[in-house]
Structure 1
Amino acid sequence: MTQTPEITGKSWAMVAILAFTWGGTFLVTELALTGITPFWLAAGRIGFAAALMLVIWLAMGGRLFSDAPCRRTWGAMAAIGAFSSAIPFMLLAWGQQYVTSGFAGVSMASVALTVLPLAHFLVPGERLTWRRTAGFLIGFAGVCVLIGGRAFESTGAGLETAGRVACISAACCYGISSVLMRRLPKVDPIGLSTVLLLIAAVIVVPAALIVEGLPPLPSAQTLLIIAFLGLVPTAAANFLRVTVIRTAGPVFMSLTNYQVPIWSVLMGILLLGEPAPPSLLLALVLILAGVGLSQYGALRRMFARNRAPQ
Structure 2
Amino acid sequence: MEEALEGLNPTQIVAIRLALGGIALLLLVRATRTALPGKGSTWVKLAGMGLLGQAIPWLLFASGQEEVTSALAGLYTGLTPLLTIPVAWLFLRERPSTAAICACLVGFAGLAVVLAPWSGGGDVSLRGQLLCLGGAACYAVAYSYAGRMMKTVDDTKLSLAASQALTATVIMVPVSSGQLVEPATATWLIVVCLALLGLGTAVAFVVNYWLIARVGPVSASLAFYLIPIVAVVAGMVVRGERLHPNEVVGSVLILAALAALYLWERARDKRTPVAAEAH
1:1-310 equivalence runs, <5 A: 29-65=1-37, 69=39, 71=41, 73-98=42-67, 104-105=73-74, 107-123=76-92, 126-139=94-107, 154=121, 163-184=128-149, 185-231=153-199, 233-268=200-235, 285-293=256-264, 296-301=267-272, 304=274
Q: Relative to structure 1, is the Cα distance of residues 137 and 93 closer, same or farther in structure 2, using a 3 angstrom cutoff?
A: same
1:156: how far off? 7.3
Unaligned runs of 5+ in 1: 1-28
Asked if structure 2 preserves the Cα contact closer than 8 Å seen for 1:100 and 1:155, the reply is no
* TM-score, normalised by the number of residues in structure 2: 0.77
Q: CA deviation at 1:64?
A: 4.0
Please tell me whether the aligned partners of residues 104 and 167 of structure 1 are also in contact (alpha carbons under 8 angstroms).
yes
Please state how far the C-alpha of 1:40 moved relative to its aligned partner. 1.0
Cα gap change, 1:251 to 1:132, in 2 (>3 Å): same
Question: Residue in 2 aligned with 1:20?
Answer: none
The size of the alignment, in residue pairs, is: 271
TM-superposed CA distance for 1:189, in Å, is 0.8
Superposition deviation, residue 30 in structure 1: 2.2
Deviation at 1:148, TM superposition (A): 8.3
CA distance in 1, matches of 2:253, 2:63: 32
C-alpha distance 186-141 of structure 1, shift in aligned 2 (>3 A): farther
Residues 248-270 of structure 1 show CA distances to partners (whole Å, capped at 9, x for unaligned) of 11111222333311222234456
The one-character-per-residue Cα deviations of 1:205-242 (angstroms, maximum 9, x if unpaired) are: 334432353452523332222112211x2111221112
Whether the aligned pair in 2 keeps the contact of 1:88 and 1:171 (CA below 8 Å) is: yes
Q: Relative to 1, partners in 2 of residues 1:242 and 1:180: Cα closer, same or farther, differing over 3 Å? A: same
Q: Give the direction of change, closer, same or farther, for the CA distance of 1:59–1:206 in structure 2 (3 Å limit).
A: same
**Superposition RMSD on alpha carbons, in Å?**
3.8
Decide whether aligned partners of structure 1 residues 222 and 102 sit closer, same or farther in structure 2, where only a CA change above 3 A counts: closer
Distance 1:167 1:274 in 2: 17
Sequence identity (%): 28
Deviation at 1:151, TM superposition (A): 11
